Structure 1
Amino acid sequence: MKRALVLRHLAFEHLGTLAALLPAYGFEIAYHDVGLGPLPLAEIDACDLLVALGGPIGVYEVEDYPFLPEEIAAIGARLKAGKPTLGICLGGQMMAAALGAPVAPGPGKEIGYAPLTLAPVDNSPLAPLDGVHVLHWHGDAFGLPDGAVSLASTPLCPHQAFSLGKHALALQFHAEVEPEALESWLIGHTCELGKAGIKPGELRRQAAIHGAATAHAGTMMFRRWLDGIFA
């Protein structure tokens, strides 16, 4: 079997829909909980697919989270080698930083379900998300690395996703989250929601309306990207 290594920064920010999808492509899945032990550098380099997931820290907070430089460097080495890499939220920001693009706090937090404006890119892996509300949950934003293609935007975030060749996809938003899993986010991020003045009930309402469609369209998006590499 092919091996997918998942760099996880929070227990409840996991693969979501990808957990069922990746085995269908012949992957066995291994998680590494970043910060709880040495980074498995050899495995990061050798795995068939690397997935870097989200978390509530910034790539620039290296004094408080000293594992970040090593993690970013390992992701950068993999990208330079052209090896399949997927980054979601913090994971996408680390990809951008590894490629030399700026990552910094944006003009405001984006939290909640809202649509994307897709860029007019031929054969974009994001095409299944046209008109679909995805889950946004971030305050930082990444710039566009040299050689990368911007795939989507929102009014607060000019680069919501980018691709680098066929092998690399970085997403600022979450299309992997299943609506039934949202409650763990509402509990785990209660302090952030309170500071942002967002009531958990509003996100539950949005998830009831959009969550299933988001998960379905997100699965189609990930399939489209995986087909371009592993089909």
Structure 2
Amino acid sequence: MKRRQFIQYATAGLASSVVAGQAQAQSGGLSVRYLGHMCFLFTGSGQRILVNPFRSQGCTAGYRPPNVQTDLVMISSQLLDVGAVDVVPGNPKLLVEAGAYNVGGLKIQGVATDQDRVGGRRFGRNIAWRWNQGGLNLLHLGGTAAPITLEQKILIGSPDVVFIPVGGSARAYNPQEARQALQVLNAKMIVPMYFRTSAAKGECDLGGLDAFLSLMSGTPVRKGGNSLSMSRSDLPKEGSVIQVMNYA
């Protein structure tokens, strides 16, 4: 296995660099590239962040491995459909545990949640990642089927953009659970992920995207390709918008 640079928890001694990083993060914009499943590459504020690289099998069999250059990898669990860090080239830094971090001036919070509906007893813990990049407060929920607790909501704060699983299964929100989580989060932009696509081959217990979109009827939907540039001006002034990203 490749040697990775694990990052330790942030400490009080980093306070000055955190403040500087927050100022840097407020400028510019953000580029988001969808690599399939729960995997996205975020580029902005002088950093590239890859979340949840996967191995191509089952639900992801038809996707190309996310073999992209990045400065930092954040994974929600060490299961191979969300934490296959060995497919990523080079030696990027790696975040795998809940906690507060400062990485290159970006303040990042990993929030522990349960992956399943039985207190994590079946699949263990999931890490939801919250950070500010390109002037946007981002939340990638990873793979979770558990409701958001009050303590988790305090750590998560108020995201502008949330990346949320919607395909159901034993360790991801079904459409009804996703809608309930969104009512708690109150994000401006919703990016659905972790649903069944034509990439699935063999065993895959995810449902498709249509059931979620149908349940969320009344919320405007924007459809685009696998890459998206966004800034605060792209957020709706009132309510929410669903941004569907397609694999290409």
TM-score by length of 2: 0.29
Question: More helix by proportion, 1 or 2?
Answer: 1
